[in-house]
Structures are given as C-alpha cells and as structure tokens.
Amino acid sequence: MTGGTRPRRAVLLLLLLLVGVAAPAASGVVTDGLLPNGNFEQGPDESQMSDTRVMSPNAIPHWEISGFVEYIGSGQQQDDMILPVPEGARAVRLGNDATIRQLLSVTQKASYSITFSAARTCAQAEQLNVSVGPESGVLPIQTVYTSSGWDSYSYAFRARHSTVWLSIHNPGHEDDPACGPLIDFIAIKTLSPPRREKGNMLKNGDFEEGPFIFRDTPWGALVPPMEEDKVSPLPGWMVMSDTKVVKYVDAGHHAVPRGARAVELVAGSEVALLQEVRTVAGRTYRLSFSVGDAGNGCAQPLAVRASAASSSQAVTYESRGTGGSRRGELEFAAAADVTRIVFQSMNHHMKPDGTLCGPVVDDISLVGVSKRAARRLFM
C-alpha cells in the first residue's frame, strides 16, 4: 500500500510544481490586442500632475514615463488648436526627450508587431524611436496620411527574452519642451512566420499576415521603412524608403482584391515594397498580381510598376475610387540565385480631402515557367 502511494504523491507533487511554475508565465503572456491601459484611459491622480504634465514616473497605470510627458483629455486646447483623441477620451503627449515604456511578458523567440496611433502637434519633422530590448527603429512621422491627423504605425520585433521593455521615445529637442506627438491606442499582435501557399514561391503573397489593425479605426496601419535585417510587421515583405510608408488595409474599411488584407501604395515611387526570393539564374519566372483601389475615393488613373531582375512591367488601373482590381503579369529571367521582386506606385495621388492615396496591390504569386514545355505546347 505505502509503496503505491509514494510514487503517486511524487507525481502529484511534480504536477503541482509544474503547474506552479508554468501558470504565472502562461497567464501573464500578452494577448493580441490592446496592451494593458494601452489607450491611457486610466490616468494619474491629480496630485501626480502639474497642469497637464505628469510628474511621477509610475503615475500612469501599467506605464513608466520619463521626460516631459503630458496627459491629455479629448478636446483639450493647445494655443488655439484642439487636440483630438482617436479612442476614448485620453492620450499622452511625448515632449522633449520623453519616453513611455511598459514591461511585456512575451514568448521568447516569437515575433510580434506593435501598432500605435500617433498625431503630430508641432510643425517640426517629428520622429519616434520605438525600441524593444536592444532593438530599435526610428519612425518618421512628419507625413500625415489621414484627415483626422491620427495615423497608426507598426513596428515589429523578435523577442530575445520572455520579458521585454517596449519603449516609445521622442528624441526631439525643441524650444517648446511640450512640443511632440500625441500617442494613444497601443496594441500588440503575434506574427506567424511567413508562409508560402502551395504553388507560390512568395511568402505571405496575399498579405493576410501583418500588423494589428484596430477594428474601430478606418485608416489601416502604416508600415514604415525598415533596415534589411530587421523584423518586418508584414512578414516576408520589406518596405524601403527614406521617410515614407505603405498602408496596410483591412476589408472591414477598404476594398481588398482578395482575402481580408492588402497593401495600399500611398507614397508614389518614394517607396518600394519588396520581397527577396530564391531563384535559379537563367530560369524564367512569372509574377502575377492584382492592382486595384481601396474603395476610399482615390478616383484617378493609378499605375503600379512591378520589377524583377532586369525586367519591369507597368500595370495601369482606372480607379473610380469605389473598389475593384485587375490582374497584372511580369515574366522575367532570373539573373542570380536571389531575385528581388519590387512593387512601386508610379505616381503620387491625393484624395479630395488632401490625404495621400494610391493603388492597392494584393494576391501576388510567383511561379517558375518551363520554357521547353511552353514551346512544345505551341508546336
């Protein structure tokens, strides 16, 4: 009898130990969506503020601050400008050298994207430095892509540890120390590794995997330019530009040629959306893709240039601004064992409200073409 209970007790103890160790980590890992107090609706006590400035590092629940951080209510005025807030009634404003940060529990080695909304409040070329652990990226925010003034930006990282600090820092040094962007609505999403669909050499060719888009925000999420070795919020794809972005759009608020997501090329030829793919030099490939409009009033003749190796093809699309798309194709001979597939909008476009817009690309596929088989077919 005693011989039987002892092992059972040992197993029970082991189970308890395992559960005891695993439970806090499992329940603490961030879930997709808004970060704890990611909309800043929970604010500081009045005693921790001087006018709008937050005076204590831990005054905002779930956040730690440093530098000149203001806690802003919807409709609050600055000089004679009203500061709007995109979600709820509260936001923060990052003045000179100000930082907000939050400690995140994540799954080590997993990739995540962060989406947050930002609005410029001063005339200067504002930037935000987003960092997670030792990784950082400086996001240019001087161009405004919405009529509300609020844009959602994305940033991606791979977790090196199971807890990481997410920081958003305004590196500016303006004469007016309060000068700096408003921040609100910070969310996270786990990124699945980019996958190839059967019969397509490209990863995430349909853009179904990408950064978090808030269900209530109609303006998608901007994917900023990134350095080559960085994690992309748009798995498989890279955005190259000095200061411009592409816009990741959702079927909930836009016309999307296929599936639930697509990319709007909003900054003309100043931005390239590209993917590198393994090829065999001398072999022929066929790239096919959809070019359309996002159904957002961009009623102009649009054009996308697709390039690969030394070939390129311009695909024009007459947009009425109400949605729709056509297929385009590019056949090319690879010149090396890696080929860059590049998409660019050929022109700048502006909607009647003055905001930038452009063609949508989606449903991109790449296949090898057997020339010998093709020739046989025509004989």
Ligand X SMILES: *[C@@H]1O[C@H](CO)[C@@H](O)[C@H](O)[C@H]1NC(C)=O
Instruction: Name the residues that contact ligand X, by CB under 6 A.
Output: 129, 131, 136, 138, 169, 171
Token pair in block for residue 167: 């920081």
Work out how close the CB of 194 gets to ligand X at its nearest, in angstroms, rounded to a whole number: 26
Cα separation values, 322 from 133, 199, 294, 325, Å:
43, 31, 7, 10
Q: Which residues lie across from 111 on neighbouring strands?
A: 158, 191
Work out how close the CB of 228 gets to ligand X at its nearest, in angstroms, rounded to a whole number: 17
By beta-carbon proximity to ligand X, the closer residue of 97 and 176 is 97
Collapse the DSSP code of 238 into the 3-class scheme (helix H, G, I; strand E, B; otherwise coil) and give the result.
strand
State the Rg of the chain over Cα: 24
Work out how close the CB of 175 gets to ligand X at its nearest, in angstroms, rounded to a whole number: 20
Going by C-beta distance under 8 Å and a sequence separation of 6 or more, which residues neighbour residue 365? 197, 199, 200, 201, 202, 205, 287, 288, 289
Work out how close the CB of 129 gets to ligand X at its nearest, in angstroms, rounded to a whole number: 4
E-assigned strand segments in 120-245: 127-132, 135-140, 150-158, 163-169, 182-191, 221-223, 238-240
By beta-carbon proximity to ligand X, the closer residue of 140 and 252 is 140
By beta-carbon proximity to ligand X, the closer residue of 94 and 287 is 94
Work out how close the CB of 134 gets to ligand X at its nearest, in angstroms, rounded to a whole number: 7
Q: Which of 277, 339, 348, 269 is nearest to 311 (CA)?
A: 339
Work out how close the CB of 171 gets to ligand X at its nearest, in angstroms, rounded to a whole number: 5
By beta-carbon proximity to ligand X, the closer residue of 124 and 316 is 124
By beta-carbon proximity to ligand X, the closer residue of 101 and 340 is 101
Q: Which of 63, 87, 61 is nearest to 74 (CA)?
A: 87
Number of CB atoms found within 10 A of residue 178's CB:
19
Work out how close the CB of 245 gets to ligand X at its nearest, in angstroms, rounded to a whole number: 18
By beta-carbon proximity to ligand X, the closer residue of 136 and 269 is 136
Q: Which residues lie across from 127 on neighbouring strands?
A: 140
By beta-carbon proximity to ligand X, the closer residue of 157 and 248 is 157
Buried/exposed 148-161: b ≥16 CB within 10 Å, e otherwise:
ebbbbbbbbbbbee
